[in-house]
Amino acid sequence: MSTSTITKSALCKALKELCAQKDYEKISISEITGFCGMNRQSFYYHFQDKEELLSYIYYNELFKNITRGVNYDNWYERL
């Protein structure tokens, strides 16, 4: 796993853990980076804002799992 992937995974985990504790709107970038022991510069190197991080989580953890094994011939069966 590359360093970039490890960093992104840590930031994703931090946001998910923090969302379990409080509302998304009340979570700051400083809280996310503090949770995983990074600085804000590391966050902004990978993501523009926390909305981009959330989109990354949705795409990489939800969307990919939903679409795994689904093609145009069997999409209805997979639902």
Nearest Cα neighbor of 51 from 27, 30, 35 is 27
**Tell me, what's the pLDDT at 78?**
58
Question: Using 50, 70 and 90 to split pLDDT, how confident is the model at 16?
Answer: very high
What is residue 74's DSSP assignment? Answer: T
Q: CATH: 3.90.700.10, 1.10.443.10, 1.10.357.10, 3.90.550.10. Which one for 3-78?
A: 1.10.357.10
Give the domain ranges of the chain.
3-78
**Tell me, what's the pLDDT at 68?**
66
Threshold 0.95, pTM exceeds: no
**Rounded distance between C-alpha atoms, residue 74 and residue 21, angstroms:** 39
Render pLDDT for 27-71 as a digit per residue (tens, 0 to 9).
999 999 999 999 999 999 999 999 999 999 998 887 776 666 666
